[in-house]
Amino acid sequence: AMIDKGNHRHFMQKEIFEQPVVVAQTLGSYLRPLAGEVSLPIPEFDFTQIRRVTIVACGTSFYAGMVAKYWFEQFARVPVDLDVASEFRYREPVLEDGGLALFISQSGETADTLAALRHARAAGQKIAVVVNVPTSSMAREADLLLPTHAGPEIGVASTKAFTCQLAVLAALAANFARAKGRLSREEEQEIVRHLAEAPAAMNAAIAHDDEIEALAPLIAKARDVLYLGRGPDYPMALEGALKLKEISYIHAEGYAAGEMKHGPIALIDEHVPVIVIAPSGPLFDKTVSNMQEVQARGGKVVLISDAEGIAAAGEGTIATIEMPRVHPLIAPLVYAVPVQLLAYHVAVAKGTDVDQPRNLAKSVTVE
Ligand code: G6P
Q: CB of 294 within 8 A of CB of 313?
A: no
List the one residue out of 147, 144, 181, 172 whose CA is nearest residue 70: 172
Is 159 a pocket residue for ligand 1 (Cβ < 6 Å)? Answer: no
Q: Whose CA is nearest to atom 8 of ligand 1?
A: 362
Q: Whose CA is nearest to atom 15 of ligand 1?
A: 105
CA dist., res. 344 & res. 248, Å (int): 8
Ligand 1 centroid to 363 CA: how many Å? 6
Is 60 a pocket residue for ligand 1 (Cβ < 6 Å)? Answer: yes
Ligand 1 pocket test, candidate residues 362, 365, 367, most atoms within 8 A of CB: 362
So what's the pLDDT on residue 87?
96
CA dist., res. 346 & res. 120, Å (int): 40
Backbone angles phi, psi at 152, to 5 degrees: -60, 135
Which residues, in sequence order, are CB contacts of 157 under 8 Å at separation 6+?
A: 12, 60, 243, 246, 247, 343, 354, 357, 360
* CA angle in degrees (0–180, nearest 5) for 205-339-166: 75
Is 287 a pocket residue for ligand 1 (Cβ < 6 Å)? Answer: no
Is 360 a pocket residue for ligand 1 (Cβ < 6 Å)? Answer: yes
Which three-class secondary structure state does DSSP give residue 299? Answer: coil
So what's the pLDDT on residue 3?
82
So what's the pLDDT on residue 43?
82
Q: Is pLDDT at 342 greater than 90 in this prediction?
A: yes
CA dist., res. 129 & res. 210, Å (int): 36
β-strands 31-32, 37-38: how paired? antiparallel
Ligand 1 centroid to 292 CA: how many Å? 34
Ligand 1 centroid to 129 CA: how many Å? 15
Q: Tell me: the pLDDT tens digits for 85-136?
A: 999 999 999 999 999 999 999 999 999 999 999 999 999 999 999 999 999 9
Q: Tell me: the pLDDT tens digits for 126-147?
A: 999 999 999 999 999 999 999 9
Relative to the CA of 161, which ligand 1 atom is closest? Answer: 16
What DSSP string runs through 181-220? T---HHHHHHHHHHHHTHHHHHHHHHTTHHHHHHHHHHHH
So what's the pLDDT on residue 1?
53
Q: Tell me: the pLDDT tens digits for 232-288?
A: 999 999 999 999 999 999 999 999 999 999 998 999 999 999 999 999 999 999 999
Catalytic residue (choose from 5, 180, 350, 362): 362
| DSSP H helical ranges for 300-362 | 307-313, 331-350
Relative to the CA of 61, which ligand 1 atom is closest? Answer: 16
Q: In degrees to the nearest 10, what's the CA dihedral of 81, 45, 31, 147?
A: 70
Beta strands in 33-184 (DSSP E): 37-38, 52-57, 80-84, 99-105, 126-131, 144-147
Ligand 1 centroid to 236 CA: how many Å? 16
Is 317 a pocket residue for ligand 1 (Cβ < 6 Å)? Answer: no
Q: Tell me: the pLDDT tens digits for 158-212?
A: 999 999 999 999 999 999 999 999 999 999 999 999 999 999 999 999 999 999 9
Which three-class secondary structure state does DSSP give residue 122? Answer: helix
So what's the pLDDT on residue 2?
67
180 catalytic? Reply is: no
Q: What's the rounded mean pLDDT across residues 211-235? A: 97
Q: What is the mean pLDDT of the chain?
A: 96
List the one residue out of 305, 161, 162 whose CA is nearest residue 230: 305
So what's the pLDDT on residue 4?
87
Q: In degrees to the nearest 10, what's the CA dihedral of 184, 188, 193, 195?
A: 140
Relative to the CA of 110, which ligand 1 atom is closest? Answer: 15
Relative to the CA of 361, which ligand 1 atom is closest? Answer: 8
Which residues pair with residue 340 across a beta bridge?
none
Q: What's the rounded mean pLDDT across residues 49-56? A: 97
